[in-house]
Structure 1
């Protein structure tokens, strides 16, 4: 009999932990049918054997999945598999059986085409789609192993140039990207994901000014960009490199969109953003600030004077709480507050108690900014658990470190006011966590009395609104104020009009907006009758052949909280030279040792 201190039991626990890391790094392109079979096999191994549905049923499902994968299944096997899974789901004694059955049913529903193709041919729809995991997971498909190798070799300018082949905002992303690339990093199978953003940060911080980029011959085509944010400027940058004339119309005083007016200086210094925008202008993009489409220039005029219009105006409006008191003096939309700070108009909250409503990155930025504006106390009020917040974990940790309190499982009910109509408290109803809805546990009202948080300022950060009414009035189709587009980001039934970024997909991340701009540039170039290539001429270092021994992940450091809360200067500092040498060596070179080597052709262009 095994006990908890048995060495073999510890080895099994370590094996399970390694398997968990492996599953967490699952790359896109993995066969869902084969993964389903493997997961059912794991469940079967965990079965205690007490109940027949689990002991016998999971084995029978594994056999059926093997037949489907090998193409030897009889007609109707998929349907019988569904029936068996449903029987196991409703009759198994515990989660070992019924949860495995639920996974099978979910997999068949989501990937039925894959199941049917396997059953009919014995082949896989996904066998040729696996690329380098981090590159595939990056929405802009930046060559991550390439610039890591160049950074390791001390070739920082070329590393940045390689990034700019796919993303003209290497510095901005080095400072604020949510790094989805790290989620599928295969290094996780060894110890922990490579600090990809930290390596990029080192490259951009140590590179000289970017080299001037090549531009194609003038095409005579003109493209108007509505909104000079990350998506609009990305699209304009690539179109300009292709030889098209590009003019970006920006409503505000300066270009940058939410990079300038939504992300505080302590996360992204505006001097760095200014340099990045200047390099985009140097590539041939003309930016006209202080121009509002619909007031200073009409959509019809843009269509008359330009061959194509790309709408990428972001989501700069604010959403309402829809509760009593939200119009009181002292209630401030987070988007407005951050925009004013971006303009240099920092509010004075000296000695005031501040409540921030929301749980996303904007809420964290607003809370941390309120501290820097002199607030006596800052409380983030959120109706779900802290674990359910959509903000990045490091942003939540930074908010707490800056002295903010997180009041989770508290649903705002009402903003209370004094006799002068000024905010005096936020009233919230305690919650308990309830059933899972849409992928995460939903809160339900607790049987407790509401709680009042005394405050003089309430910052609302529950989402951003898209100000698309003008375009909707002109006949452009929208759904929930988001522009409707086809797979090429073209607006249906409106030739020559494209849309991308937050105004198309809803408030999202910087890298997704950049990815839309890149995709739109390709679609617009094709629409105009061309097929230009964006390329670089860089020779990558020879891949290393040394063993990859387990090694801890180097982390970016931060200024001490008691120091950084007094100003809006940069909080995070980069890796040291010693750390960058170690961290770049942790890369497993999946571009060479995995399926990535099959994608070498065309790597330096798109």
Structure 2
């Protein structure tokens, strides 16, 4: 633990952001990690709580109290070793994870959780600054070959673990760059892609081979992968978006969120994207109140939208959760992102009834207020409204991974269209097809980056056991 009385002496300190007027001018990250002294004080707040719920609240089971104490002691070198023991990419989670560990923190009972995410962010940045993140090539090669389909966080985590176990790993990515939804689904102002590039360099030095522009079902045969490799891991992201079946859906100016976000990320990376969807000088309506919708808001602000409205069909969450009812589990409560702070009108319990257009282009949205009664959505009489809309972005989540990959391998699916595979017991992460495994969004559906890393690591161990009979990789 940190200082014995630290949680009583010191208040929580959140990371600072650059001013809105500065940060909306570009696509650079604007969250500033804690100074050494600030991180030390925050580490001191970690209490000897007996049962550290933070470690179970964290999907990768980070050993949080240990590295909090090491930061308090200013032993940064040991802190990164402990952090890396459970998490291959803490610079990813330290920036974009919603921090379920903090919701589970014992101090969160009084709304004053330890700033775990900010400490993690400071540790990994310190490690990169001091060149402590180095390749760890295996001492011996096994001669086994593993194909990984998808280079997002699940695929990257599995690849790194298996390469370090001595296997030859080839990662197949359909895009021109490695990273999957981590690269193309998350705006650079939240997560600059140099963090991925550094890890790719490290992993290549460890023996991982990346093949971009390789899409299963197009220029890569599932049959060939199954024949040429000793094991295959399906680790693609959940990219099949939920649609909005209303009149006017076909109008020009109505797009899925990823069709808006992905091109912008490519432009930031230096690519030329013809006919890029822009929010400049437009009245933008974002349908969907989650993280993807928030990313659309932040990107629209940087494009220079005239106005931005975000609608959510579910009721507005409470500003404060009932801790006695939900702690240490993840609470439903109102969350305001940095993108919302940059400018956005939000409303809840809104249903879209129709999209109105002229000459084939969307010009307005017709909606109404709804109430939820006995689990059913009921329109509020007299609440119908019409508002101007030049660009409508559908950010209502993702229903499943891309089916053509699963169909190409012929694996059995669950009721939600994901690859069917368990995470327990002998044969975990295996699909219905021999030597074909599934992890991350491909197995569990749309989820968090930290869940993808967990499943990639665990799947790597399962594959190692399958190939070698036993494994020294962590569970």
- The TM-score with structure 2 as length reference comes to 0.79
The residue that corresponds to 2:296 in the other structure is: 366
Q: 1:397 to 1:343 in 2, by over 3 A?
A: closer
Report the 3-state secondary structure (helix = DSSP H, G, I; strand = E; otherwise coil) of the residue aligned with 2:429.
coil
The residue that corresponds to 1:477 in the other structure is: 412
The residue that corresponds to 2:326 in the other structure is: none
Offset of residue 449 of structure 1: 4.1
In the aligned structure 2, how far is the partner of 1:247 from the partner of 1:473? 18
Segments of structure 1 that go 5 or more residues without pairing to the other structure are: 1-129, 535-604
Between 208-217 and 519-528, the greater mean CA deviation after superposition? 208-217
CA contact (8 A) 2:316 2:334 kept: no
Task: Indicate whether 1:446 and 2:380 are aligned.
Answer: yes
Segments of structure 2 that go 5 or more residues without pairing to the other structure are: 1-49, 268-272, 320-329
Report the 3-state secondary structure (helix = DSSP H, G, I; strand = E; otherwise coil) of the residue aligned with 2:336.
helix
In the aligned structure 2, how far is the partner of 1:216 from the partner of 1:395? 47
Offset of residue 214 of structure 1: 5.2
The residue that corresponds to 1:249 in the other structure is: 172
In the aligned structure 2, how far is the partner of 1:392 from the partner of 1:335? 25
Q: Deviations over 1:496-542 (max 9, x none)?
A: 110011121111110011111011011111111243324xxxxxxxx
In the aligned structure 2, how far is the partner of 1:395 from the partner of 1:282? 40
Structure 1 residues 216-365: aligned runs within 5 Å: 216-344=139-267, 345=273, 347-365=277-295
The residue that corresponds to 2:347 in the other structure is: 407
Q: Deviations over 1:332-355 (max 9, x none)?
A: 110121111111156432211000
The residue that corresponds to 1:112 in the other structure is: none
The residue that corresponds to 2:85 in the other structure is: 165
Report the 3-state secondary structure (helix = DSSP H, G, I; strand = E; otherwise coil) of the residue aligned with 1:528.
helix
Question: What is the aligned length?
Answer: 401
CA contact (8 A) 2:217 2:404 kept: no
Task: Indicate whether 1:145 and 2:62 are aligned.
Answer: no
The residue that corresponds to 1:10 in the other structure is: none
Task: Indicate whether 1:396 and 2:331 are aligned.
Answer: no
In the aligned structure 2, how far is the partner of 1:347 from the partner of 1:306? 40
CA contact (8 A) 2:134 2:202 kept: no
CA contact (8 A) 1:250 1:289 kept: yes
Aligned match of 1:510 in 449, 459, 465? 449
The residue that corresponds to 2:104 in the other structure is: 184
The residue that corresponds to 1:423 in the other structure is: 362
The residue that corresponds to 1:116 in the other structure is: none
In the aligned structure 1, how far is the partner of 2:334 from the partner of 2:160? 31
Offset of residue 326 of structure 1: 1.1
Offset of residue 393 of structure 1: 6.5
In the aligned structure 1, how far is the partner of 2:203 from the partner of 2:137? 12
In the aligned structure 2, how far is the partner of 1:131 from the partner of 1:215? 36
Task: Indicate whether 1:457 and 2:396 are aligned.
Answer: no
In the aligned structure 1, how far is the partner of 2:393 from the partner of 2:331? 16
In the aligned structure 2, how far is the partner of 1:506 from the partner of 1:261? 18
Larger radius of gyration: 1
In the aligned structure 1, how far is the partner of 2:284 from the partner of 2:443? 33
Q: 1:188 to 1:248 in 2, by over 3 A?
A: same
In the aligned structure 2, how far is the partner of 1:290 from the partner of 1:157? 38
The residue that corresponds to 1:387 in the other structure is: 317
In the aligned structure 2, how far is the partner of 1:469 from the partner of 1:388? 40
CA contact (8 A) 1:350 1:375 kept: yes
Report the 3-state secondary structure (helix = DSSP H, G, I; strand = E; otherwise coil) of the residue aligned with 1:213.
coil
In the aligned structure 2, how far is the partner of 1:386 from the partner of 1:330? 27
- RMSD of aligned alpha carbons: 2.3
Structure 1 residues 49-88: aligned runs within 5 Å: none
The residue that corresponds to 2:118 in the other structure is: 198
Q: 1:241 to 1:265 in 2, by over 3 A?
A: same
In the aligned structure 1, how far is the partner of 2:395 from the partner of 2:417? 19
CA contact (8 A) 2:97 2:449 kept: yes
Report the 3-state secondary structure (helix = DSSP H, G, I; strand = E; otherwise coil) of the residue aligned with 1:431.
strand
Offset of residue 407 of structure 1: 2.2
CA contact (8 A) 1:476 1:491 kept: no
Structure 1 residues 99-114: aligned runs within 5 Å: none
Q: 1:204 to 1:161 in 2, by over 3 A?
A: same
